[in-house]
Structures are given as structure tokens and as C-alpha cells.
Structure 1
Amino acid sequence: MFYREYPPHPALAAHVDCVWAARAPGGGAAHRVLPDNCVDILWQDGAQPGFAVGMMSSSILVASEQPVQTLAVRFKPGKAGLFLATPLNLLTDQRADIDLLWGRSDADRLADALWSSEAPERARLTLIEQELLRRLCDNAGGSPLVQRALQALDHSAGALRVEDLAAQLRVSRQHLAAQFRDHVGLSPKLYARICRFRRAAAALKAAPAPDWAELALACGYFDQSHLIHDFQEFAGNAPERFHFSNRPAA
């Protein structure tokens, strides 16, 4: 399977992690897609409207019976709502056709432009960026509270306790959780757990036979059993049988 990421347009860099392209050969071969604390919008060949894939709380298996080409954008945590105009908790573990979020006319116009051209994939990804830039002009900058919370959780790689985070931000845990679900799509606690899991997954990719207790502590887990529990929940497998995968399609 081909998969490639590109840096976004500079004016989108504060909101977009990357734009990306993928080609799956078909044949029904499945790959596991892991939760990554991001929201994507995907357009797949056939001139169909795109679809948004919300935050994931566990891994999923994706199989393509037929060859499929994908063009997509991946948003930074807490930023997709600027372009989708819907509370992100409504998309968690879901996919929504972009015509329902953007309107049929705009969705069809972009899909036609993406798939009616023989332009290189990077040039077609630029069409997606242009649509995002147009939509960004009509939106505010999101929630400063949630952005501060995200920065703190990411800086700690998920090790910061939600109670301590709320106290640091001088808000109640309940208020923080409500704002976080609307603007991110997950609770702060679940977001932090996925941060820890992703850190451990990256460490396993670099060193596939670690000292498990040492790895758990280095990644912010209380003990090895908590590490094992998160791998079983988020990757569908024990850590010693884990195989790292990207999130190329859904």
C-alpha cells in the first residue's frame, strides 16, 4: 500500500497536521488503523463526496475489496471543528459524509475537481487546502481553554492528571470535560490515555523487545498491567504482539 504525507499550506499549519495521499491495491487485505487523536477528511476516487472520520477510541480493521485512491487532510487535535462546524463528540468513532457538513453543492464541486483531473496528487491536495482556506476565513479561532489543555497534555505525553490540569487552568473538571468533548471529540482522560499509548507504540517501533516494566514507567503508566490494558483496548493486541500501523484510510 502506498501512503505519503505532505506538509500543509503555511496559512493552515496552525490547524492542519498534514495532507496525505494513499493507494490501496484492493483484494480484501485488511490493515489495522490505530487511534491517533486526530480527525481526518477523506476523498476517495469515484467522484463521491468526501467523508469526515472522527476521533477514534479504539482501533479498527479496514479492508478494500477494490483498488482505491485516497486524498485527505488530517487536522491537529482541537482544530477540525473550525472546518466542520459541528461538535466533534458527535463524530467520535463515526464517519459523516462531508455534504451533510458543508452542503451538497460545495461537496460535489470539490469532489469533481479532485477526480476529473489528471494532475499530480500534490496539485489535487492543493485544491483541498484552498477549500479549507476559504472556510477558515468564516470561522473563529476555537476555544483558548481547550488549546491550553491540549498543549499541557501533549507536553506531558498524557502523564498529566486531569484533576491537576483543571486546577492549573482554574476551571472545574466537569467544565473542562464538556469543552474538551465539544472541541476535541474525546474526554481529557481518554485523550491522555491515547497520548500515552502512542508514545509507547512509537517506543516499541524503535525497540521491539524492551523491558516492559521500564517502558511502562517511561511512558507514564502506573505499572505494566496498565500498559497491557491500553494496548489491548487501543490496538486489539498485547504489546508483545503489536505491529505499528499508520492511519491511511477508514
Structure 2
Amino acid sequence: MGYAYRPAPPALRSVVRSLWFNEDPPRRRYERILPQPVAHVIINLSDPYRLLTRGGEWVGEPFRAAFVSGLQPEYLVIENPEWLWQCGAELEPAGLAALVSMPPSELTARVRDADDIITGSAGWRDALRAADHDPERTLDVLTELLEAALRPDVTIDADVREGLARLEADPDLPIARLASDLGLTHAHLIRRFRAAIGVAPKTYADLTRFSHFLNAIPFDAVPTWSELVAATGYHDQPHFIRCFKRYTGYTPSRYLAGVREYGAEFPSFQPMDEFPTIATPPGATTVG
């Protein structure tokens, strides 16, 4: 059992934000993963786990080794194995293009096996398992694997990089003003963002605002929802609740009840006791 976290080393810093390792029993069989303004590369070192739903729609895909999760504008529900053993990298928003051989837009709202889109990733699981459960050794190996997988022909768009930094600092910044400040038309900025990170600047700003909101909630002394809404950039409480339900599948009060039960250490990941009842296609393997 163990957990480790470290910022990306200098050689990866323009592509990767952080590296992590986790090995322990899952808190619950199911887990709801909320939208975040970053993509992820994850290597499953234990038994497979499954992506069950995306935004309330059935998916039912197992993931056995390395996989890539693009920017997710909707929540996901996964089914954990009986024992979690995994590691991964949280990518910079524009970092995905430096690792994968397909446009980032084709990974938006998708999770894909890494084997055919990241060079050398078919052998990652075996290489990382050879670190013998040691968290720090595992992250050392992961660092080497990611450095070797970087695509030498890819550079990160400087205007997009600046735009991302400004929206991270102020997700309420008008997109038209951002485009003007960068010397671009509104339409050109949208095209550049979609090419670099897979989504338009407004979508990125919305995901960033939502992430800021989750990470800023003082769960030990929760204010009223009206007070919270006033600080989020959402204009009124009904609008906020609609946005919150779209991103999470929960009302704010239902989400907060879950955080009080399971803790607020990772506000974008919420354990679930039961799989939500949804329609599944004929022949789909359901969960019990």
C-alpha cells in the first residue's frame, strides 16, 4: 500500500503537471469522476477496471493497462477492481499533443487505450510492475517512460499557452477580449484552442471555473449556496444548479453530502455505494 505525488521534473514540465502513484483498496466499488480542465495518462497495474458511463450514458469499456483520458466535459462513472494499483500523469492542458499521435479533439470526452497512440506504451505496464510496488521507484520509471514518449516534432502553440494561463487565472475573462489581446480574431482563437487542447476557449474556461469552485469550497465550514454562487461567476442560483447537475449528475446538496461522508481531499472524485440505474444497450454486461 502507498501513495506518492510529485511535480513534473523540468524535462516534462511543459507537458506534464504532476505524477502520482496509488495502491490501496478502493473506498467503494464505484466512483464518480467529475470534469476537470486537464487530460490524464493512467497506467492500471492491477486487475482491469471499467468505464461504465459518461454523462449518464452507458459505455462499459474495460481498461487493463495504459490509457489516456482527454478533457472530459461530462462526469464519468467507473467500476474499481477489488484492489487499486495504479500510477499516472496529470497533463498540462496543451500537453496531450506532445504525447499522442492523434488530434487532441479526437480524445475530448473519450478514454482510449494508449497502445496505439503513445509510442512505446504497450510495454509500460510490465516496466512499471517491475518497480515492485515501490511508489518512488514507480514514479522514477514513469518519468523515464514519458520522457522517451515525447514527440520531437510537436511544439506547444505560444498564443494558446498564454491564453490558457490567463483563463486559469481568470476564467471569467471574456473570450473576445482574450482574442483581441493576443492579436487574433475570435474564430481564429477558437480554432487554435481546439487544435491544441481539443476544446474551445469557452469550454476550457467553464471547466476551469468549475474546478476552482470545487477546490475552494471550505468543507469544514460550508457557507450557504447563495454565498458560494456569488463567488463562482455563475449569475444566479438556478443557473448554477443547472450547470452543477450537468457537470456532476448531482444537485449541489447531494454532492456536498457525499463529500461530508467520504472527505474532501479529492473533490473531483466521489465514491459511490451503488451503480446508478440507467438504460443499457442489448447485450451489455451490466453490474450488480
Classify the TM-score, shorter chain.
0.7 to 0.9
**How many Å separate the matches in 1 of 2:19 and 2:270?**
11
Mean Cα displacement is larger for which, 8-17 or 229-238?
Answer: 8-17
Query: What is the SS of the residue equivalent to 1:180?
Result: helix
- Residue in 2 that maps onto 1:183: 196
Equivalent residues of 2:43, 2:66 under 8 A apart: yes
Query: What is the SS of the residue equivalent to 1:167?
Result: helix
Matched-pair identity in %:
24
Q: Which amino acid letter does the alignment assign opposite residue 85 of structure 1?
A: S
Deviation at 1:230, TM superposition (A): 1.8
Query: Structure 2 stretches of 5 or more lacking a match?
Result: 48-63, 272-288
- Residue in 2 that maps onto 1:194: 207
The answer as to 2:98 corresponding to 1:59 is: no
Task: Map 1:142-161; keep pairs closer than 5 Å.
Answer: 142-156=156-170, 158-161=171-174
Distance 1:117 1:127, change over 3 A: closer
Mean Cα displacement is larger for which, 19-28 or 188-197?
Answer: 19-28
The answer as to 2:145 corresponding to 1:131 is: yes
Q: Which amino acid letter does the alignment assign opposite residue 209 of structure 1?
A: V
Equivalent residues of 1:41, 1:73 under 8 A apart: yes
Q: How many residues align?
A: 246
Which of the residues 230, 234, 239 maps onto 2:247?
A: 234
Equivalent residues of 2:31, 2:270 under 8 A apart: no
**How many Å separate the matches in 1 of 2:186 and 2:121?**
38
Equivalent residues of 1:27, 1:67 under 8 A apart: no
Distance 1:117 1:148, change over 3 A: closer
**How many Å separate the matches in 1 of 2:114 and 2:151?**
19
- Residue in 1 that maps onto 2:40: 40
- Residue in 2 that maps onto 1:166: 179
Deviation at 1:203, TM superposition (A): 2.7
**How many Å separate the matches in 2 of 1:139 and 1:21?**
29
- Residue in 2 that maps onto 1:77: 93
Q: Which amino acid letter does the alignment assign opposite residue 130 of structure 2?
A: S
Deviation at 1:24, TM superposition (A): 5.2
Q: Which has the higher helix share?
A: 1
**How many Å separate the matches in 2 of 1:87 and 1:64?**
29
Equivalent residues of 1:24, 1:64 under 8 A apart: no
TM-score with structure 2 length normalisation? 0.76
Deviation at 1:15, TM superposition (A): 2.4
**How many Å separate the matches in 1 of 2:74 and 2:3?**
22
Distance 1:208 1:164, change over 3 A: farther
Equivalent residues of 2:72, 2:109 under 8 A apart: yes
**How many Å separate the matches in 2 of 1:77 and 1:96?**
17
Q: Which amino acid letter does the alignment assign opposite residue 177 of structure 1?
A: I
TM-score with structure 1 length normalisation? 0.87
Deviation at 1:20, TM superposition (A): 1.0
Equivalent residues of 1:91, 1:185 under 8 A apart: yes
The answer as to 2:23 corresponding to 1:23 is: yes
Aligned-pair RMSD on alpha carbons?
2.6
Q: Which amino acid letter does the alignment assign opposite residue 156 of structure 2?
A: G
Query: What is the SS of the residue equivalent to 1:165?
Result: helix
**How many Å separate the matches in 1 of 2:205 and 2:249?**
18
Query: What is the SS of the residue equivalent to 2:72?
Result: coil
Which of the residues 216, 221, 237 maps onto 2:229?
A: 216
**How many Å separate the matches in 2 of 1:101 and 1:194?**
25
Query: Structure 1 stretches of 5 or more lacking a match?
Result: none
- Residue in 2 that maps onto 1:87: 103
Deviation at 1:40, TM superposition (A): 0.8
- Residue in 2 that maps onto 1:14: 14
Mean Cα displacement is larger for which, 118-127 or 36-45?
Answer: 118-127
Q: Which has the higher strand share?
A: 2
Deviation at 1:85, TM superposition (A): 3.1
Distance 1:98 1:207, change over 3 A: same
**How many Å separate the matches in 1 of 2:270 and 2:66?**
15
**How many Å separate the matches in 1 of 2:222 and 2:155?**
43
